[in-house]
Amino acid sequence: MRRALALATTPGVPLGPNPRVGCVLLAPDGTTIAEGFHRGAGTPHAEAAALAEAGEAARGATAVVTLEPCNHTGRTGPCSEALIAAGVVRVVFAQPDANPVAVGGAGRLREAGIEVVGGEMIEEAQAVNRAWTFAIARRRPFVTWKFATTLDGRSAAADGTSRWVSSRAARLDTHRLRALCDTMLVGTSTVEVDDPELTVRDELDEPVAIQPLRAVMGLRDLPADRRIFNDRAETVRLRTRDPEQALADLFARDRQHVFLEGGPTLAAAFLAAGLVDEVVTYVAPMLLGAGRTAVGDLGIGTIADALHLHVSDVTVLQGHDGEDTNVRLTMRPHLRRN
């Protein structure tokens, strides 16, 4: 199973919309017959790839798969039927498939007389497809809210300037995190005021080949010359002020992980709705004393009602000169309402 998980995370495999899956076929003596992994939507599933490599050697084999074999026909056929036809006698999988479209593979295999064992290394398998697992269960994308702030909670100075609250090391790290998501979401105010391009760029400040979807939430019309509407990535308008509706629209587009990069008002709306699942903040060792706050009014009037966050990671991001430093905090809300 560890080898199957490693196959699932092969570099270059898309993070969505399909789950990443790995498969290892074992002979009765435990030796490896063949391996396979899913390379993205429209390509053979991991089981099909391994069976194609194994050929007749798959008869009598054990299939070790990171996700329960699917039981539906989409762009490719059901993996459960392919395993049955190949003569596999035992299937061991890690994570049950919660997708209502694909569920039922384990039952179909058992009906055919195949021994099935599920739940092996399930937590590790769920971590491989964190956003997909969440989105399938909640029927909405996982939301990561990212922002940069000074020690006193300011995202910009009194005159509106924000360069350089985040260090170069933090900005490079932000691009790394952007690349792990399939959607970047901002509001109309951010587009009007900051005019971001919202692309993923490398260390040379060049756009990478695969870009997340750029989504703009809000009702106001925007000038067509804003950089977010250029041809470096796809952009969609979400004509709503309701965070739940925005996420429903994105889920309908097969989007599973939203990187929320909007301003304080948009952040407050998602937080108030209980729709922030992870918080990543870059804290700069500086003080402003005044200026734009990192988040808008949450309607919290007393410390007892404060929104508490659980810190899961603290990392110091330091530049080459030792001065260009930010601290990255990764956190999650203790309670989610949706």
Backbone angles phi, psi at 22, to 5 degrees: -125, 150
Local structure of residue 229 (DSSP, 8 states): G
Q: Is 337 annotated as a binding residue?
A: no
Q: Is 26 annotated as a binding residue?
A: no
Burial class (CB in 10 A: 0-12, 13-18, 19+), 57: middle
- The β-bridge partners of 257 are 142
Q: Is 68 annotated as a binding residue?
A: no
Positions of E strands within 73-220: 90-95, 115-117, 142-150, 154-156, 183-187, 213-217
Q: Is 263 annotated as a binding residue?
A: yes
Is 47 labeled as catalytic in the residue annotation? yes
> Is there a contact between 112 and 90 (Cβ–Cβ < 8 Å)?
no
Q: Is 8 annotated as a binding residue?
A: no
Cα–Cα distance, 308 to 33 (Å, whole number): 50
State the first-to-last Cα distance of the chain, in angstroms, to the nearest integer. Answer: 33
Q: Is 178 annotated as a binding residue?
A: yes
The single residue of 35, 47, 68, 278 carrying the catalytic annotation is 47
Q: Is 336 annotated as a binding residue?
A: no
Cα–Cα distance, 106 to 78 (Å, whole number): 12
Q: Is 148 annotated as a binding residue?
A: yes
Q: Is 315 annotated as a binding residue?
A: no
| 3-class SS of residue 317 | strand
Q: Is 79 annotated as a binding residue?
A: yes
Q: Is 45 annotated as a binding residue?
A: yes
* Binding residue positions for Zn(2+): 45, 70, 79
Which residues are annotated as catalytic? 47
* Binding residue positions: 45, 70, 79, 148, 162, 164, 178, 190, 194, 198, 201, 261, 263-269
* Binding residue positions for substrate: 162, 178, 198, 201, 261
